[in-house]
Amino acid sequence: MPWEKQFDENDVLEKAMQAFWDKGYAATSMQDLVKCTGINRGSLYATYSDKHTLFVASLRMYEQKMLHQLLFKLRSNFGPRDSIRQFFLAFIEDVTEGGGNRGCFMTNTALELAPHDADVREIVASAQSQIEDFFAEMINKGIAQSEIAPRGPAIETARGLLASLIGLVVLTRSRPERELLHTIVEEALRRLT
């Protein structure tokens, strides 16, 4: 009889993602993953084959959960300029949740693994491109609605906003001070006036 999973993969990926987010890829052991997921080592290996495969699956889940859902919510509920502001604020909330300073899982991964891991680099680059495209889309929409001042190609402004966002989430690791972070958001948004 074939082996059947006795666990919810989404739940396991969520727990693994939290462990990787808290400690980073290198510092998270298989024993840490066994402990946090509640799944025995054999079942984890049977499903994911190794730590790297589990990590990549967790990173893809984060991209789906955080990025795709957030972008859908913002497009549905806010105007162009407010969508961009709310995007930044969502990251501040996420990375400083509970008074912590664990940063953004995707950005942490970009710093730790993307330079030497092609699978991870592709996921990180895809996420960054989606954010850049979202910013450009909102800028163009805001210009069309006279909500955002035209200042050259939208994609260039979008890239500047992406750089500000990445800098912001890196800064949260050492200085998760809300007032400081909100000041950075407002400074980034000045590019739209």
CATH number assigned to the domain comprising residue 181: 1.10.357.10
For residues 165-185, give the mean pLDDT: 90
pLDDT tens across 106-130, in order?
999 999 999 999 999 999 999 999 9
For residues 132-139, give the mean pLDDT: 98
Model pLDDT, residue 84: 97
* 3-state SS class at 153: coil
Note whether residue 38 is domain-resident. Answer: no
Note whether residue 37 is domain-resident. Answer: no
Model pLDDT, residue 4: 53
CA 104 to CA 101: how far, in whole Å? 9
Provide φ and ψ at 157, rounded to 5°. -65, -40
Number of separate domains in the chain: 1
Long-range contacts of 70-78 (CB under 8 A, 24+ apart): 71/130, 71/134, 74/134
Note whether residue 132 is domain-resident. Answer: yes
More confident position, 81 or 1 = 81
For residues 106 and 122, the answer to whether their CB atoms sit within 8 Å is no
pLDDT tens across 43-96, in order?
899 999 999 999 999 999 999 888 999 999 999 999 999 999 999 999 888 777
Burial 121-131 (b: 16+ CB within 10 A, else e): eebbeebbeeb
Range of the domain at 79: 59-192
CA 30 to CA 24: how far, in whole Å? 13
Note whether residue 53 is domain-resident. Answer: no
Note whether residue 35 is domain-resident. Answer: no
For residues 23-30, give the mean pLDDT: 95
More confident position, 43 or 99 = 43
Residue by residue, DSSP assigns 162-177 as HHHHHHHHHHHHH---
Model pLDDT, residue 172: 86
Contacts of 10 by beta carbon, 8 Å cutoff, 6+ apart: 61
What is this structure's pTM?
A: 0.89
* Banded model confidence at residue 14, pLDDT cuts 50, 70, 90: very high
Which run of H or of E encompasses 33? helix 30-37
Note whether residue 52 is domain-resident. Answer: no
